[in-house]
Amino acid sequence: MSSVVRPPSSGQDPFLAADFRPISSHLAITPPVSVVIPAMNEAENLPYVFKTLPDWIHEVVLVDGNSTDDTVDVARSLRPDVKVVEQRGKGKGDALITGFEACTGDIIVMVDADGSADGGEIVSYVSALVSGADFAKGSRFANGGGTDDMTFVRKLGNWALCTVVNRKFGARYTDLCYGYNAFWRHCLDKIDLDCTGFEVETLMNIRVVKAGLKVQEIPSHEYLRIHGTSNLRAVRDGLRVLKVILKERSNRRDLRRRVHHSPLLHTGQGEVS
Ligand SMILES: Nc1nc2c(ncn2[C@@H]2O[C@H](COP(=O)(O)OP(=O)(O)O)[C@@H](O)[C@H]2O)c(=O)[nH]1
Ligand SMILES: [Mg+2]
């Protein structure tokens, strides 16, 4: 749990009750930040992941995907206050949805457990959110970002799918299938996630645009997974992502048709153009 400081005058002033957490040399924030870590057999990587998390984090929620190694024991030994939740179903999407429900913070940050994400970047995501963004979306292909962990095929697939999303939904993303993102908790009510696998980030990225939320991309560097191998299968999961894009597109068309035919429905927050 982070150290909390009160502004000099708040000791006496009952109207200044907020607790401020310094998150950098020039910024202190009041909203508590939860970090959600989906983990399936990541015991060997957790020491690296936990080491990079800032000490001002409010809570760490680890979603265990029925690991057969010591993932849960290692997490608890590294951080006795970690909140461990067992996912109900299967897949990264299912894990994240379970984890989001368990969070008590106002801001939620998604961090992979394979050592590819640097927790030191969380400050950039949180800074964007407290400066007005609803959704801070990591990007390995924005200026200042990068990746050591993507094969050429994955880069090509990600670029193609990202281009389709930009065209079809009017987004201006430079990256699509990336697991490092952060958002205000209230976004969850507007995007109503319902998926199970690696298509989860794509679904989030599409639904935030459809909901008219303010999205800011954060340049991020993806490092190599430290131990073990990726659970993602480029073709299988690429097709799942494509299926989600097409489904979201046809939902949008259905809605537009209904709006067109019903005088009672109106366009809301960029939902239907
Ligand atoms: N709880 C849980 N975590 C998962 C599942 N599938 C993947 N993950 C985690 O999601 C993160 C990203 O998965 P990874 O296999 O590295 O995929 P990649 O980053 O796309 O190559 C890692 O922390 C995995 O442990 C799952 O079914 N359940
Ligand atoms: Mg990975």
CATH number of the domain that 134 lies in? 3.90.550.10
CA of 225 to the centre of ligand 2 (A): 6
Q: What is the pLDDT along the chain (273 residues), one digit of tens a residue?
A: 445 555 554 455 666 556 888 999 989 999 999 999 999 999 999 999 999 999 999 999 999 999 999 999 999 999 999 999 999 899 999 999 999 999 999 999 999 999 999 999 999 999 999 999 999 999 999 999 999 999 999 999 999 999 999 999 999 999 999 999 999 999 999 999 999 999 999 999 999 999 999 999 999 999 999 999 999 999 999 999 999 999 999 876 666 666 555 444 333 333 333
Domain total for the chain? 1
Nearest CA to ligand 1 atom 1: 65
Structural domain includes residue 11: no
Structural domain includes residue 3: no
CA of 228 to the centre of ligand 2 (A): 10
Nearest CA to ligand 1 atom 2: 65
Structural domain includes residue 5: no
Segments forming the whole domain that contains residue 250: 21-261
Atom of ligand 1 nearest to the CA of 229: 15
Structural domain includes residue 14: no
Q: How far apart are CA 130 and CA 67, in angstroms?
A: 35
CA of 168 to the centre of ligand 2 (A): 27
Whether the predicted model's global pTM rises above the 0.75 cut? yes
Structural domain includes residue 6: no
Structural domain includes residue 130: yes
CA of 179 to the centre of ligand 2 (A): 8
Cβ of 97 below 6 Å from ligand 1: no
Cβ of 128 below 6 Å from ligand 1: no
Structural domain includes residue 153: yes
Structural domain includes residue 104: yes
**Residue among 31, 15, 26, 23 at smallest CA distance from 54:** 23
